[in-house]
Structure 1
Amino acid sequence: MQYLVIAYDNDGALEKRLEVRDAHVAGAKKMIAEGKIINAGALIEEDQMVGSTLFVDFESDDEINEWLENEPYVQNGVWNMDEFQIVPVKLLPKD
């Protein structure tokens, strides 16, 4: 199932975001190659990264939960899980 993930950062998390960004991007690139992440990008406010958006495709709730358990921005407290949203979507086919 496809989802839109909206993840705002915790207050003051910019430094932590930058520290773990390489691990986050490496994991995202792997998941893009696997077809799990369809597209992703940073949320920007006043020229600052304040969160992330991702379009993802997971087979089950267990699979999306496993991703979140291992996601560097979750593990390192970058994303504010109280403002975290996962919304089912149906994206237009690319072809």
Structure 2
Amino acid sequence: MQYLVIAYDNEGALEKRLEVRDAHVEGTKKLMNEGKIINAGALIEEEQMVGSTLLVDFANDDEINDWLSNEPYVQNNVWNMEEFQIVPVKLLTK
């Protein structure tokens, strides 16, 4: 199922974000190659990264939970999981 993921960072998490960004990008690219992540990008406010948005395609909740349990931004408390949103979507195809 396809989902829009909106993940704002915890306040003051920019330094942590930058420290683990390479691991986050590496894992995201791997999942993009597998077709699990369709697209991803940083949320920007006042020219500063403040969160992430992703379009994902996971078969079930177990796959989403597995991704999240291994996601560097979750493991390192970058994303504010209290405001984390996963919204089902149906993306337009060619």
**Global fold match (TM > 0.5):** yes
Code of the aligned partner of 1:77? N
Determine the structure 2 residue equivalent to 1:78.
78
Match of 1:56 in 2: 56
- Secondary structure of the 2:11 match is coil
CA drift at 1:4: 0.1
Deviation at 1:45, TM superposition (A): 0.3
Instruction: Give the aligned CA root-mean-square deviation in angstroms.
Output: 0.4
2-side partners of 1:35 and 1:58: how far apart? 9
Runs of 4+ in 1 over 6 A off after TM superposition: none
TM-score under structure 1 length normalisation: 0.98
Aligned residues: 94
Q: For the residues of structure 2 that align with 1:92 and 1:20, how far apart are their CA atoms?
A: 32
Q: State the shift of 1:46 in Å.
A: 0.3
Amino acid at match of 1:49: M
Q: Distance in 1 between matches of 2:39 and 2:62?
A: 21
Alignment match, 1:11 = 11
- TM-score norm. by structure 2 comes to 0.99
1:21 aligns with: 21
Structure 1: which 5+ runs fail to align? none
Query: 1:67 Cα shift?
Result: 0.3
Structure 1 counterpart of 2:33: 33
The letter of the residue matching 1:23 is: A
